[in-house]
Amino acid sequence: MELSVFIILFITAWVFAVTPGPGTLALLSISTSRGFEPSMYYSVGAVLGDTMYLTLVIFSLDAMAEYIAPVMEFIRYFGAAYLIYLGVSQWLSGGISLEGKAVKLSNSRELATGFLVSGTNPKVMIFYISVLPSVIELTEVSVFYGVQIISTVGLAVMTGLVVISLLGKQLKSLISTPGMAKRVNRICGTMMIAVGLTLVFV
């Protein structure tokens, strides 16, 4: 895998992982109420859910490469437009609600919860379908290359979730105020828009 592809994939997946959403807010709730260890089990489950979708997308792209290749330019701009749309939506979104309390679960159930939250979120698959064809060469999707892609995205998502878990209390106190929540949304939105623009111009 080329370094430029690794960097774009890593940054895109990392930004997507830390952007406030149901999974991120659930992780914040777990890390601040139950501690680091349960949040790690949840994070591993979430990564497994993400990579499940990613594996399905990679194999689908490999099978459909012959049909997708002629419209690669369109797919590239569609992926960029989708990322920019996510960024604008994040920018315009209001406050972040952290009122729900985390239910105490065993570590194995935390892992299952993380997997289910990620695995039942259709935005995850839409995200990968729109982004992957923009940054990888469809004709080179071998098993080894696929493992590289999955490893890169898995590492990026896990890194983002570990950061959230480690900074749980600080992040929760910061985004509990409406003004700071808006700033967090705007920062994440700006990052997502920047990644989308990168797909167009790089």
| Local confidence band at 91 (pLDDT 50, 70, 90 cut-offs) | confident
Residue 77 belongs to what domain range? 3-201
Q: Compute the distance between CA of residue 89 and CA of residue 68 in angstroms, rounded to an integer.
A: 28
Q: Compute the distance between CA of residue 91 and CA of residue 156 in angstroms, rounded to an integer.
A: 22
**How big is the chain by its Cα radius of gyration, in Å?**
17
Mean pLDDT value of segment 50-62:
77
Percent of the chain with pLDDT over 90: 2
Residues 6+ apart with CB under 8 A from 149: 1, 9, 54, 58, 132, 136
Residues 6+ apart with CB under 8 A from 42: 26, 27, 30, 110, 111, 113, 114
Classify residue 103 as left (phi > 0), alpha (psi -120 to 50) or beta. Answer: beta
Mean predicted lDDT score pLDDT of the chain: 74
| Local confidence band at 104 (pLDDT 50, 70, 90 cut-offs) | low
As a dihedral over the C-alpha atoms of residue 149, residue 9, residue 123, residue 89, rounded to 10 degrees, the angle is 180
Residue-level pLDDT at 167: 78
Q: Compute the distance between CA of residue 196 and CA of residue 155 in angstroms, rounded to an integer.
A: 20
Query: What residue has token string 């920018």?
Result: 91
Tally of domains in the chain: 1
Q: Which two tokens stand for residue 125?
A: 């698959």
pLDDT greater than 90 at residue 159:
yes
Closest CA to 117 of 35, 9, 7, 25: 25
| Local confidence band at 140 (pLDDT 50, 70, 90 cut-offs) | low
Q: Per mean pLDDT, which of 12-26, 39-53, 157-171, 186-200 is the most reliable?
A: 39-53
Q: State pTM to two decimals.
A: 0.69
Mean pLDDT value of segment 93-116:
66
Helices (H), the chain: 3-18, 22-33, 36-68, 72-92, 107-119, 122-135, 143-166, 168-175, 178-201
| Local confidence band at 44 (pLDDT 50, 70, 90 cut-offs) | very high
Mean pLDDT value of segment 181-202:
71
